[in-house]
Amino acid sequence: MTVLLVLLLACAVGGAACVVWAERGGPRWVRIVARVTLGLGAMVGGAGKSRRRGLNRGGGNSGDGDE
């Protein structure tokens, strides 16, 4: 499990480095990796927002049972 987390962290750091490098005009493969990284980030961010919206759909009910 630790190895998986380390690999995930390395991919995230590498992707962020490619985004910065692509902003400065890096080679084609860096721009491709940067686009993929930004796309995945947008997907993860969108999933988090929809999950938070789903939690707030209770109509203001706190769920404590006292109504």
pLDDT exceeding 70 applies to what percent of the chain?
Answer: 73
What's the whole-number mean pLDDT along residues 45-60?
67
Contacts of 8 (CB under 8 A, 6+ apart): none
Burial 7-38 (b: 16+ CB within 10 A, else e): eeeeeeeebeebbeebeeebeeebbebbeebe
What type of residue is 49?
K
Look at residue 37 and tell me whether its pLDDT is greater than 90: yes
Instruction: Give CA–CA dist 20/33, Å, rounded.
Output: 11
Whole-model pTM: value is 0.64
- Give the tens place of pLDDT for each residue, 7-35: 999 999 999 999 999 999 999 999 999 99
- Structure-model confidence comparison of residues 21 and 46, the more confident one: 21
